[in-house]
């Protein structure tokens, strides 16, 4: 059985007292091997401030490889070769035949099939537009309902718009590990509850800086709006949370559990992002055709699938998404499918079918290069850290390299290099890559690169 994994340092939601969300130690599946990522405004791991630990050699009983010499050889599935072996020679064949083939594989074998837009979806704008953040922003708060049944989950969406803009603005939409009231220092935010995995109930989290903070000022100053929601609004993030999430409401008659191709939590969180895009299309202050989505770690995996699956999103920024996201599964380095789908870890995040590839990733019909290709021709930035061994930053770079031919076919600029860049050396083409000097999470230079990337591709001045 192939293996991959690393220093396991999970994103930990800073929870005092009641212990709400203490198990956010599961939230990254990632190592810490360097200085802490202290970014005012974006999710970081509080554990990163601790003394670095040596990578574990075994996780969930499965060996781990961090040695490039032991990666082995592998052959990736070519995004421009059809299932029947015929080559894809033009954009028409890509859009009409090959891309649907790839999407079908990911739905059936990795993320699972979602139910699409709910017929009874509705939007309740509970905060129509209140001046906030010392006059820099207009705050909106929206409750997104999926059913007329009040017992169903609901998204509590927080939005900030630049106060001085009089045209529809592009958006930076970040899916969040924490409650919206802990994302921004704003007393006007309506407090929301989060899931406690120990009790399988929702509780009010403690106040404080917490995990998932957003510093919206640089984005507002650049002409972007900012939006976020707590991912647990859609589906809880722990093994026994299924009965409290959205997925239980879509079981077929007579079913008590999901089938092998039914959606996992990552697909549910991505589905929630699409429901937010549904709302954006109704708000005249938001340019719904210029929405960039962002997520870190397992939420980096989420935005990879959301961007691949929902072509309405204009750009994707995936931070440290690793295995199950932008890192190559065929490459034996860091975390593997087997680690992700081990029964005590994260099998609920994926389609049940995904686990069958744990011992045979080299036989899997899908890999991250195909996922990256599905985002084409839209801008995609993969942000990593050079000591985030668990997430395999080189494997993410190589996935972009292997997807470059699709970007070229569609008239866009790929990375234009096969040489893995050094840390702090951004490549900001339509396919973009940036690796900070450090581990899992974000550092201030990442934030600067984000804003630069967004300004290049979403043009807030227009």
pLDDT digit string (tens) for 400-458?
A: 999 999 999 999 999 999 999 999 999 999 999 999 999 998 877 888 999 999 999 99
3-state secondary structure of 101: helix
Q: How far apart are CA 295 and CA 43, in angstroms?
A: 9
CB neighbour burial string for 381-393, b if at least 16 within 10 angstroms, e if fewer: bbbbbbbbbbbbb
Q: Are 117 and 111 in contact (CB under 8 A)?
A: no
Least confident window among 51-55, 348-352, 376-380: 51-55
pLDDT band at 212 (very low <50, low <70, confident <90, very high): confident
Residue 82 CA: distances (Å) to CA of 23, 74, 88: 42, 19, 7
Q: How far apart are CA 42 and CA 46, in angstroms?
A: 12
The mean per-residue pLDDT over the stretch 375-390 comes to 97
Q: Are 267 and 114 in contact (CB under 8 A)?
A: yes
Q: What pLDDT is attached to residue 109?
A: 98
In the predicted structure, residue 381 carries a pLDDT above the cut 70: yes
Question: Looking at the DSSP assignment, which residues form a beta bridge with residue 293?
Answer: 173, 316
Q: What pLDDT is attached to residue 56?
A: 77
User: Concatenated DSSP letters for 203-269?
Assistant: EPPPPSS-SS----HHHHHHT-EEEEEEGGGTS-SSTT-GGGSSGGGGPPTT-SS--TTB--HHHHH
Q: What pLDDT is attached to residue 41?
A: 33
3-state secondary structure of 289: strand
Q: What pLDDT is attached to residue 207?
A: 83
Residue 155 belongs to what H/E stretch?
strand 154-162
Edge-first strand order for the sheet with 122-132 is 122-132, 137-145, 154-162, 225-230, 169-176, 286-296, 315-319, 380-385, 431-436, 427-428
DSSP state letter for 113: B
**Biggest CA-to-CA distance, the chain:** 60
Q: How far apart are CA 359 and CA 263, in angstroms?
A: 21
Q: What pLDDT is attached to residue 149?
A: 98
Specify the higher pLDDT residue, 36 or 402: 402
The mean per-residue pLDDT over the stretch 91-109 comes to 98
In the predicted structure, residue 253 carries a pLDDT above the cut 70: yes
In the predicted structure, residue 219 carries a pLDDT above the cut 80: yes
In the predicted structure, residue 48 carries a pLDDT above the cut 90: no
Instruction: Evaluate the omega torsion of the peptide bond into residue 433 and state whether it is cis, within 30 degrees of 0.
Output: no
The percent of residues in the chain predicted with pLDDT above 70, rounded, is 87
Q: What pLDDT is attached to residue 211?
A: 63
Non-local (6+) Cβ contacts of 255 within 8 A are none
Among 229, 134, 228, 129, which Cα is nearest to 186's?
A: 134
Q: What pLDDT is attached to residue 54?
A: 65
Among 291, 272, 288, which Cα is nearest to 280's?
A: 288
Question: Any idea which residues carry the catalytic annotation?
Answer: 297, 440
Q: How far apart are CA 65 and CA 62, in angstroms?
A: 10
pLDDT digit string (tens) for 316-331?
A: 999 999 999 999 999 9
Q: How far apart are CA 219 and CA 159, in angstroms?
A: 12
Q: What pLDDT is attached to residue 445?
A: 81
Among 26, 30, 3, which Cα is nearest to 391's?
A: 30
CB neighbour burial string for 256-290, b if at least 16 within 10 angstroms, e if fewer: eebeeebbbbbbbbbbbbbbbbbbbeebebbbbeb
Q: How far apart are CA 351 and CA 3, in angstroms?
A: 20
φ, ψ at 409 (rounded to 5°): -55, -35
The mean per-residue pLDDT over the stretch 90-108 comes to 98
Residue 432 CA: distances (Å) to CA of 68, 223, 226, 399, 461: 23, 22, 21, 12, 21
Cα distance between the two ends of the chain: 52
Residue 382 belongs to what H/E stretch?
strand 380-385
Question: Looking at the DSSP assignment, which residues form a beta bridge with residue 296?
Answer: 319
Q: Are 376 and 407 in contact (CB under 8 A)?
A: yes
């Amino acid at each position: 059985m192939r293996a991959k994994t690393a220093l396991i340092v999970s994103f930990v939601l800073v929870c005092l007292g009641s212990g709400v969300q203490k198990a956010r130690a599961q939230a990254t599946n990632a190592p810490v091997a360097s200085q802490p990522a202290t970014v005012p405004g974006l999710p970081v791991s509080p554990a990163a401030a601790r003394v670095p630990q040596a990578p574990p050699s075994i996780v969930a009983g499965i060996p781990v490889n961090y040695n490039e010499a032991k990666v082995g050889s592998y052959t990736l599935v070519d995004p421009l070769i059809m299932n029947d072996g015929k080559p894809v020679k033009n954009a028409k064949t890509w859009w009409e035949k090959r891309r649907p083939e790839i999407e079908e594989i990911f739905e059936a074998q990795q993320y699972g099939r979602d139910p699409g837009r709910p017929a009874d979806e509705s939007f309740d704008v509970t905060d129509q537009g209140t001046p906030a953040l010392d006059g820099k922003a207009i705050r909106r708060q929206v409750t997104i309902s999926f059913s007329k049944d009040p017992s169903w989950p609901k998204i509590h969406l927080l939005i900030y718009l630049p106060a001085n803009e009089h045209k529809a603005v592009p958006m930076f939409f970040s899916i969040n590990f924490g409650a919206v009231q802990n994302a921004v220092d704003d007393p006007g935010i309506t407090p929301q509850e989060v899931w406690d995995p120990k009790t399988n109930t929702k509780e009010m989290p403690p106040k404080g800086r917490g995990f998932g903070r957003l510093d919206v000022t640089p984005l507002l100053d650049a002409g972007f709006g900012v939006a976020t929601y707590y991912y647990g609004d859609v589906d809880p993030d722990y093994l026994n949370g299924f009965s409290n999430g959205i997925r239980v409401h879509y079981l077929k008659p007579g079913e008590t559990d999901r089938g092998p191709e039914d959606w996992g939590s990552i697909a549910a969180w991505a589905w929630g992002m699409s429901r937010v895009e549904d709302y954006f299309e109704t708000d005249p202050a938001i340019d719904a055709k210029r929405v960039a989505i962002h997520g870190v770690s397992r939420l980096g995996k989420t935005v990879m699938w959301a961007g691949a699956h929902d072509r309405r999103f204009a750009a994707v920024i995936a931070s440290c998404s690793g295995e199950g996201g932008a890192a190559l599964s065929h490459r034996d380095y860091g975390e593997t499918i087997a680690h992700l789908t081990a029964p005590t870890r994260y099998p609920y995040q994926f389609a049940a079918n995904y686990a069958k590839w744990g011992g045979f990733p080299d036989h899997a019909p899908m890999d991250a290069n195909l996922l990256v290709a599905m985002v084409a021709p839209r801008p995609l930035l993969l942000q990593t850290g050079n000591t985030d061994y668990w997430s395999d930053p080189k494997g993410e770079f190589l996935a972009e390299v292997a997807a470059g031919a699709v970007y070229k076919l569609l008239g866009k600029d790929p990375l234009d290099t096969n040489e893995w860049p050094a840390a702090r050396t951004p490549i900001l083409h339509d396919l973009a890559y940036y690796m900070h000097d450090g581990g899992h999470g974000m550092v201030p230079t990442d934030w600067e690169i984000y804003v630069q990337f967004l300004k290049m591709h979403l043009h807030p001045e227009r």
